Amino acid sequence: MRRYSVFALAREALRGHTGWGRAWGAAAPRAAYDAVIVGAGGHGLATAYYLGRNHGIRNVAVLEKGWLGGGNTGRNTTIIRSNYLQDASAAIYEKARSLYETLSQELNFNVMFSPRGVMMLAQTEHEVKGYRRTAMANALQGVATEFIGPDRVKALVPIIRIDGPRYPVLGALWQPRGGTARHDAVAWGYARACAAMGMDIVENCAVTGIRVENGAVAGVETTRGPIATRRLGLVVAGHSSVLAAMAGFRLPIESLCLQALVSEPVKPCMDVVVMANTVHGYMSQSDKGEMVIGGGTDGFNNYSQRGSWHHIEETLRALCETFPVLSRLKMLRQWGGIVDMTGDRSPIISRAPVGGVFVNCGWGTGGFKAIPGSGWAMAELMARGEPGPLAAEFDMFRFREGRFIDESVAAGVAH
């Protein structure tokens, strides 16, 4: 892999940029691999990367039915935070946030991590109590957060309306080292690093079946031919239940559409991320000046990747109450992603009932922020066959045993 640097950029500028090679090749699948990962989004590529980096397993194929990063990785609002209530959640998200800090240097690819700070507004007395409790839990977990009052909120976000009309801002849970990153760049950086280790990234290769022999995986059937493997990772977000059915087991998840949109670009007016869970909207401003806006999931199970007018209207109505300056902006584009929800709104990183099959799913609406930590934990699970400390509590069997990791109440909303 050719290293990117200011000297390489200057050299290529003199050559008319004719010497750059492909970041990753268009690989054709081979007959067998030590490990196969289904899903070339952020989580799948991070799993492959840490399999090679941390565990020396490099005979790996990453299969993607479409194009790399074309699922939820390219369809999210890029928020990164780790201020969760439960210890297991805070641990894996803080691991991810800390890895994001140096990810550009490690991958030699600018993922545009921006630790601008994430603020979760408290607009009811119930939220004030809840976020104060979370701030105390974060202090015990080693996660740097604090509860701030409305005056500090206004100082950090001058465009916000503090006094109502329906829900005044009573304070906020503030994580200064939270922020955003460039979603495509995260996938591209991991893909480039995986290719440099000799891994095959196979796009336009849909899995159509999973071969099971004597209770263990033997390989997969794909639209580009059969592939043998004894170690299979399913990292396909909202389609996890479809792949699980091919292997003969069920997952405790449901798939829903999550919508988002961006406004036309405007001059810089907000340099932090704001989440308003009572009115159910969240917003940040991109480097291009667009206001990146998201809301809640659809109220019914579906596999749609389109936006709908009624959900956008609901989200924007709520945000315009808190940010009146938004009212005259025009929408530039909208989209939807397929998210996978568990009953306790916490992920699954687990061995499956089929030997050699491992599942990473259930991230709901908070998947992007977890990519490095998720890949780290999933790689450890696939390499050793047993979960490490990050993944130990997230196995799929916790639901039948009553070991819930309840973040639905702690977060106010599953982000």
CATH, residue 261: 3.30.9.10
> Do both 261 and 357 map to the same domain?
no
pTM over 0.85: yes
Nearest in space to 218 (alpha carbons), one of 230, 232, 206 = 230
Please give the C-alpha separations between residue 384 and each of 154, 290, 378, 379, 390, in angstroms, as whole numbers.
49, 44, 10, 8, 14
One domain for residues 38 and 174 = no
Residues 260 and 164 in one domain: yes
Q: Where are the alpha helices (DSSP H) in 29-182?
A: 42-55, 87-101, 103-107, 125-141, 150-156
Sheet holding 273-276, edge to edge: 146-148, 171-175, 118-122, 273-276, 281-285, 291-297, 253-263, 331-342
Any idea what the CATH number is for the domain that residue 203 is in? 3.50.50.60
Q: What is the pLDDT of residue 415?
A: 43
State the total domains in the chain.
2
My answer on whether 258 and 333 are in the same domain is: yes
Residue with tokens 């369809």: 75
Q: Which amino acid is at 226?
A: P
Residue 409 has a pLDDT of 53
CA torsion, ordered 310, 311, 316, 318, to nearest 10 deg: 100
- Provide the pLDDT for residue 407: 83
b/e burial code for range 366-394 (CB count within 10 A of at least 16 → b): bbbbbbbbbbbbbbbbbbeeebeebbebb
CA distances from 281 to 68, 105, 146, 313, 373 (A): 28, 33, 21, 11, 25
pLDDT of residue 23: 85
| pLDDT computed for residue 274 by the predictor | 96
pLDDT in tens, the chain (415 residues): 778 888 888 998 988 888 888 888 889 999 999 999 999 999 999 999 999 999 999 999 999 999 999 999 998 999 999 999 999 999 999 999 999 999 999 999 999 999 999 999 999 999 999 999 999 999 999 999 999 999 999 999 999 999 977 889 999 999 999 999 999 999 999 999 999 999 999 999 999 999 999 999 999 999 999 999 999 999 999 999 999 999 999 999 999 988 899 999 999 999 999 999 888 889 999 999 999 998 888 888 888 887 777 778 888 888 888 899 888 999 998 888 899 999 898 999 999 999 999 999 999 988 999 999 999 999 999 999 999 999 999 999 999 998 999 887 554 444 4
Q: How far apart are CA 386 and CA 389, in angstroms?
A: 10
Q: Of 320, 341, 362, which closes a domain?
A: 341
Report the pLDDT value the prediction gives residue 105, as an integer from 0 to 100: 96
Domain containing 238: what range? 25-78+183-252+344-401
Residue 84 in any domain: the answer is no
Where is the domain boundary, 289, 309, 341? 341
- Answer yes or no: do 363 and 295 share one domain: no
